Chains A and B, each alone.
Chain A
Amino acid sequence: MYGNAYIDPNEKPLSILDGEDPIKLAEFEARIARGEKIEPKDWMPKEYRKQLIRMIEQHAHSEIIGALPEGTWITRAPGFKRKLALMAKVQDEVGHAQLLYSAAETLGKSREAMINDLITGKSKYSNVFNYPALTWADSCVIAWLIDAGAIINQVANAKGSYGPYGRALDRICTEESFHLKYGHHNVVTLATGTPFQRQMVQEALTRWWPPIMHFFGPSDKISNHTTILMKWKVKMATNDDMRQQFLNMYVPKIWDLGLVLPDANLKKNEETKLWEYTEPDWDEFKRVINGGGPCNAERLAVRRMAEEKGRWVRAALLNKSEKYVTPLA
């Protein structure tokens, strides 16, 4: 699972190409235009490296933090089959974090530095995970629809220009297909079950719809910056395009189950082929991503606790004569 890399709108606009060697830059752009992949030791513009580290790192953090709301229900999953499946899914997500940290590491930021930035709140992760999974049905809605959103995002990004990120995403997408099926099976089971089960899944869906609409991030302003990142194949689709793709694929499937989405304006315009919806509350999004959500403090405190409790084990196993080397690919 994943959310877009969050770029703070108040961040100082960068002079992206400042100080770059024009000949190397032209070669780099030509290589991307030909569909070639960029590998870790290749020359790359500073801004390309910076944006990719930010994006892959945030993606990794999202996987590791995303395991927490879903993990909430492991101890009380309804039956062994669901419990085993949920444990496997949560383990996958943590594994995805490791794959992504590895990909980001090839760009020169150590895993320790990324974890430090996560636990001090310097780095962001997908905003949806700052909300609680209040019931079992919430975990089912997450597994189906958040993972669905993640797949749309990851399939797009897997075609990006940075080799190690694309390879990690290909692998992740294969595993996500089980998550999506698992989530759908759960939601369908509840929606076609007893009146109480139906009510539970409807309430969870109503709770999760605003975070789901936030998931792909605010409309991208068509800025110089976005244009360059798209030319460099760092960003593969606009946030709005991905949101449209998600609505087009999943709203009909939700309506098939007779479930109601809490947006009276949601409909497909048959002329434009685009979905119309009430603009999500972006002030709420900003408030939550900047620390004001119901679970931000808990998520980071749990992560710090986990790092601290594991520290002596990691130290005991460390061979002090070893030196860190940046991974090859």
Chain B
Amino acid sequence: MINSLDPRIAREKINEDNTIAPLTEMDNWETYEVFHQKKRGEQHEHVGIVHAPNNEMALLFGKEQYGRRGISVNIWVVKTSNVFASDYDDADIFETVPDKQYREAGGYKVMEMINKYKKENKVK
């Protein structure tokens, strides 16, 4: 019997050699991805996961786990299994090529034309 210094534990009268059946898969439930908004007007940002048995408890745990220091104004939780994500191995899908300059602001240069026009037409 454990004679703990902690009165809460001493009261439980626990045997040192208590054995329990191992935890089985899903004992701690499925996971939810947690997103929080730091302040109104900003985007929600992924902050981590929680284990929960349903949406409501995921929200509760998410608030407790990630909103504990008053740094969130809003939280979303989404089941991990419902997130369809791209693969880091496919990062090249985001790459672009130099001949797509037509869709960049930097692809439109006019000063050379303006200066040439001003010179030829003696615009002051």
Interface residues of A (CB under 8 A from B): 39, 41-43, 68, 71-72, 74-76, 92, 95, 98-99, 102, 105, 110-112, 115-116, 119-120, 132-134, 167-168, 171, 174-175, 297-298, 301-302, 304-305, 307-308, 311, 314-315, 317-319, 322-329
Given the interface pairs A311-B27, A322-B29, A328-B80, the reply to whether A297 lies near B16 with Cβ below 8 Å is yes
Report the interface size for chain B: residues with CB under 8 A from the other chain: 47
Q: Does B73 reach chain A (CB closer than 8 Å)?
A: no
Min CB distance B31 to A, Å, is 5
- Whether B5 and A134, one on each chain, are in contact in the complex, defined by CB atoms closer than 8 angstroms, is yes
- Whether A317 and B29, one on each chain, are in contact in the complex, defined by CB atoms closer than 8 angstroms, is yes
Q: Does B121 reach chain A (CB closer than 8 Å)?
A: no
- Whether B69 and A175, one on each chain, are in contact in the complex, defined by CB atoms closer than 8 angstroms, is yes
Residues of B contacting A120 in the complex (Cβ-Cβ under 8 angstroms): 22
- Whether A327 and B31, one on each chain, are in contact in the complex, defined by CB atoms closer than 8 angstroms, is yes
Min CB distance B57 to A, Å, is 7
Interface residues of B: mostly helix, strand, loop or mixed? Answer: loop
Q: Does B118 reach chain A (CB closer than 8 Å)?
A: no
A323 is contacted by which of B7, B50, B81 (Cβ under 8 Å)? B81
- Whether B14 and A305, one on each chain, are in contact in the complex, defined by CB atoms closer than 8 angstroms, is yes
- Whether B46 and A329, one on each chain, are in contact in the complex, defined by CB atoms closer than 8 angstroms, is yes
Within residues 40 to 95 of chain B, which ones have a CB less than 8 A from any CB in chain A? 46-51, 53-54, 57, 64-65, 68-69, 79-81, 83, 85, 87-89
Residues of A contacting B28 in the complex (Cβ-Cβ under 8 angstroms): 110-112, 115, 314
Residues of A contacting B15 in the complex (Cβ-Cβ under 8 angstroms): 301
Distance A119 CA – B18 CA, assembled complex (angstroms): 10
Given the interface pairs A304-B19, A325-B81, the reply to whether A39 lies near B33 with Cβ below 8 Å is no
| 8 extra A-B contacts, CB within 8 A, seeds A68-B9, A318-B26, A325-B80 | A42-B88, A95-B65, A99-B48, A302-B12, A317-B29, A322-B30, A326-B80, A329-B46
- Whether B5 and A133, one on each chain, are in contact in the complex, defined by CB atoms closer than 8 angstroms, is yes
- Whether B20 and A119, one on each chain, are in contact in the complex, defined by CB atoms closer than 8 angstroms, is yes
- Whether A308 and B4, one on each chain, are in contact in the complex, defined by CB atoms closer than 8 angstroms, is no
* Chain A residue, CB-CB nearest to B32: A327
A318 is contacted by which of B5, B14, B31, B53 (Cβ under 8 Å)? B53
Residues of A contacting B57 in the complex (Cβ-Cβ under 8 angstroms): 317
Distance A204 CA – B99 CA, assembled complex (angstroms): 70
Residues of A contacting B7 in the complex (Cβ-Cβ under 8 angstroms): 75-76
Q: Does B122 reach chain A (CB closer than 8 Å)?
A: no
Q: Does B113 reach chain A (CB closer than 8 Å)?
A: no
Distance A9 CA – B17 CA, assembled complex (angstroms): 28
